[in-house]
């Protein structure tokens, strides 16, 4: 059965800290791995990764994929209170739907 596992489930840090969120997966016919940020409502798209070793970066957020070890990490540097959210990892296979992990809840205190 295809699955996506995120760790940790929750994390509390202070403003300015750097955090690393993890996502491991087991899917047949892997096609892509995606990260989303969910605040109060709908998840918003952050990154899509398809190739190993190529870092995607957007401001203080960055992500990388390891297709050999079947995992991805999402790094957030110099965290701010606005980074507090649930971060979702999802994997796309040859089908049409994404498989989501349960998410990591990040709380950044000032």
Cis before 8 (ω within 30): yes
CA quadruple 75, 14, 83, 104: dihedral positive or negative? positive
Under 8 Å between Cβ of 87 and 20: no
Shorter beta-carbon distance to other proteins: residue 76 or 89: 89
Residues that bind other proteins (CB under 8 A): 31-32, 34, 41-45, 48, 50, 88, 90, 92, 96-103
Could you tell me the smallest distance in angstroms from the CB atom of residue 51 to other proteins?
11
In angstroms, rounded to a whole number, what is the distance separating the alpha carbons of residues 99 and 79?
27
Shorter beta-carbon distance to other proteins: residue 1 or 110: 1
Could you tell me the smallest distance in angstroms from the CB atom of residue 50 to other proteins?
6
């Amino acid at each position: 059965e295809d699955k996506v596992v995120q760790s940790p489930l929750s994390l509390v840090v202070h403003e300015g800290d750097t955090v690393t969120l993890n996502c491991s997966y087991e899917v047949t016919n892997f096609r892509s791995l995606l990260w989303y940020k969910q605040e109060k409502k709908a998840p918003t798209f952050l990154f899509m990764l398809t190739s190993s070793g190529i870092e995607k970066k957007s401001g203080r957020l960055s992500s990388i994929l390891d297709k050999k070890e079947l995992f991805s990490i999402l790094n957030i540097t110099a965290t701010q209170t606005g980074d507090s959210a649930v971060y979702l990892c999802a994997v796309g296979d040859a089908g049409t739907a994404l498989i989501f992990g349960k998410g990591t809840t990040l709380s950044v205190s000032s």
